[in-house]
Chains A and B, each alone.
Chain A
């Protein structure tokens, strides 16, 4: 099930809310939320829900053992063994095909291995499990003794499929507390609608335009098509993923949980370093806290540690070399920025660092978009007019003119202009009424939200239809 599906929005969510708020007892509420989360997961992954149950039971038991073992060596061994097993599970499902492929091509062996289907959300919930075990080992939080609560933490339907990757200590207070409130619920609805609009209106529209600009065959691609195409992809991936995170944060808030932010306007960054502090924050901080710092961080083998982190960050995104290249591409730019570039940018006008970052980001997405590296390099060649057939063509010009308003609108939504306007109007209202009214928050924003919800639903309904069927001669 996906958040942006009509079935989720109008069946699953209302049913979950009714069942959840119908009971008052904390334990029952947690049990209901856990059951609904399992239903949500099983809807898309009826078999591998067993793996989810296994993992949660596994970390539940190991965390208790780690906590109880009073000898340092034993608890450390238990931690290493349990993490190794979780990594092995992830590796088996996600990377076995990739590893077999590479080994067989290295030794030119015939390869008949067919890839496994990756169980839904495995990349995310194994990381949640790992962070939980480490945090218990480091005594940042006590091990959870109630298995239902443990299962709820791992399987919460709003985070299980695509994060944000939650830290157990952050959620601990919420698990048994009286967490729900109207203000949280209001905020949850607001965030959910914002996320839904990002996904349904902007990301899906951008996605549907990409192929019109890029085409299927890069030997026919023009310079203009290549730039607009990758710009649209950068918009699609940002609004898709940040929209999903907004919806997750919103849903969590409806059920009383406060999740950490996952995006912070990444495209206003002025360097690759800054980008990774604003993009997929929960993943970046996971690698910082559970890989980079344990390896020695800034203190020893800094270069090696950075390399490992960026290699893994790339590989985490998919079992293919292009993602590894994409990760290492950022590693290179981070190094360049650290050694000298940042010092130069500090002295010259900001506009240069913005331009630099946009170029680095767009070219980076080419490696992300094209799983075939040769295609990616060909694409970059077209962008810089090395092997492009033409600079532009009349059809592209028309397409661009027809969609320029959408593109400008999407770019504006990617920068914090809305947030700024809200603050300006709040201040203005406060000045006029001396803080007695709050029309901005009680009327204007709700009305905008209602309009966004209506448009999002309209867009979602139309998207159920497949526009082009190649085999329909």
Chain B
């Protein structure tokens, strides 16, 4: 009779030891810093949770989430995966044209080779793409300087849909037409319900990839300019489409987006605010940025992209600086949550902690069912902002112009809490004088987001 073999012995030792160590490990972690998330907690035992299967499911994920040496093992996995990749961290280098004199905007079928940005892949063959020349307007015809897309030198591929464009993490985006129509339908029906007296504004914010000139890499991402134009054509003429696209385009070479996060910076939000004011015909009352003297500057911010790219180290090449301005008017901020109403402040520094969710500082997490701001203004003006997380860093600039501002993040909308009110009924109940949406492109591009938005009316 054969004895037990070496591998069987070691197998037994490993599974027994791992089980014992994990069962009796007293120092189970509760958060994972590397992944930037909360780990599964040990589930509470109850008859109900056992019978609906959630106890077993949560216990299994609690067990693997708190597995001994988990972070080290995950790091090893990345190392192993990396060493199996044939070519590491490959880059597309886009060589800039010598003289960008061609004013051509059309992708030409017979391109003049000398005027094209030359594109080459390290090591691998050159892809057969017909690049569009850099759109550079002729100065003599245009007296005012037109904004330009940012030149790109290198593009690296992180995990889909993330790219690293000159050390900025950007995400590719393709919109579904059905979703854009749904978004417009929401606005149109809201307008009908609110009537003539309430102005409705639509703000859609491009993501950072849009302002990079990636024309030499066709089909890499959808055009967000087209998304904006399509929405404008689908919305009723009574809806005021705020030109956020143009406002950010004018300043696209400035620090208006984080490099490691999908949000805009407070500066980006400020430029969008100026566009909203212009759309409201209140350009003369725009408060200059210079008036915002009180601010926080926090260095070393690692945004959500690090987590979403499975901790790709290249994200860490370029840490962000988070600047947060304080409002120039006194305000009271009540966050309405399911079981409590809490008074909070904008720019809550308690969020600057090791879990790296710094963006949450702007509106104390911003996860209330709605957020109610009352200022010292007595002008009777009330704004309802229907938004995603971009709204949290936008509200600061609105406060000087309103007596009341209500921020409602569509993800936390709770009809039951609002006594069964739909969003239009809610707007009437607070006597809103203006309503605006504020959505970044992901929130309008995908039907699962716009269906949530549309359901606010039902």
Contacts and interface: CB of A to CB of B under 8 A. Distances in A.
Interface of A: 1, 5-7, 9-11, 13-15, 17, 43-47, 181-183, 185-186, 189-190, 192-193, 205, 211-212, 215, 217, 220, 222, 389-395, 397-399, 401-406, 409, 442-443, 445-447, 449-450, 453, 455, 457-462, 464-465, 467-473
Contacts of B22: 10-11
Given A46-B50, A46-B56, A464 B84 contact: no
Interface string B63-98: 111010010011011101100111100101000000
Which 5 interchain pairs have the tightest Cβ spacing?
A446-B7, A462-B77, A10-B19, A449-B7, A446-B6
- From B6, B92, B128, name the one whose CB has the most chain A CB atoms within 10 angstroms: B6
B11 A189 contact: yes
A7 B7 contact: no
A348 B78 CA distance: 46
Contacts of B5: 186, 189-190, 442, 446
A323 B60 CA distance: 32
24 contacts: A5-B60, A7-B59, A7-B60, A7-B64, A43-B56, A46-B50, A189-B5, A189-B7, A193-B7, A393-B217, A393-B220, A394-B121, A394-B129, A394-B217, A397-B121, A398-B157, A399-B160, A446-B6, A447-B7, A459-B80, A461-B77, A462-B74, A465-B37, A473-B411
B73 A461 contact: yes
B174 to A, nearest CB: 6
B389 A473 contact: yes
A405 B88 CA distance: 12
B389 A393 contact: no
A394 B127 contact: yes
The A contact surface, by secondary structure, is helix
A220 B308 contact: no
B10 A462 contact: no
A401 B64 contact: no
A389 B4 CA distance: 58
A399 B155 CA distance: 13
B289 interface: no
B59 to A, nearest CB: 7
B86 A401 contact: yes
Interface in B141-190: 155, 157, 159-160, 163, 174, 176
Given A190-B8, A467-B310, 13 more contacts: A6-B64, A10-B22, A15-B19, A182-B2, A211-B160, A393-B127, A393-B218, A394-B92, A394-B121, A398-B157, A442-B5, A447-B7, A449-B7
A405 B73 contact: no
A461 B74 contact: yes
B440 A401 contact: no
B157 A186 contact: no
A473 B129 contact: no
Given A7-B64, A461-B77, A468-B308, A14 B16 contact: yes
Contacts of A181: 1
B51 interface: yes
A402 B74 contact: no
B175 to A, nearest CB: 10
A455 B160 contact: no
Contacts of B310: 465, 467
Nearest to B411: A471
Interface in B391-432: 411
A459 B310 CA distance: 13
Contacts of B85: 402-403, 405-406
B388 interface: yes
A473 B64 contact: no
A45 B77 contact: no
A48 to B, nearest CB: 10
B92 A11 contact: no
Contacts of A47: 51, 53
A46 B53 contact: yes
Nearest to A15: B19
A393 B160 CA distance: 14
B76 A458 contact: yes
B329 interface: no
Contact of B64 (A394, A453, A464, A472): A464
A390 B70 CA distance: 42
Contacts of A457: 14, 18, 73
A395 B220 contact: yes
A53 to B, nearest CB: 16
Given A186-B5, A393-B217, A398-B121, A472 B70 contact: no
A445 B7 contact: yes
Contacts of A401: 86-87, 90, 123-124
B362 to A, nearest CB: 13
B254 to A, nearest CB: 23
B23 interface: yes
A461 B53 contact: no
Contacts of B446: 470
Nearest to B63: A7
Contacts of B65: 464
B157 to A, nearest CB: 5
Contacts of A215: 160
A453 B17 CA distance: 14
Contact of A46 (B19, B51, B59): B51
A473 B8 contact: no
B388 A473 contact: yes
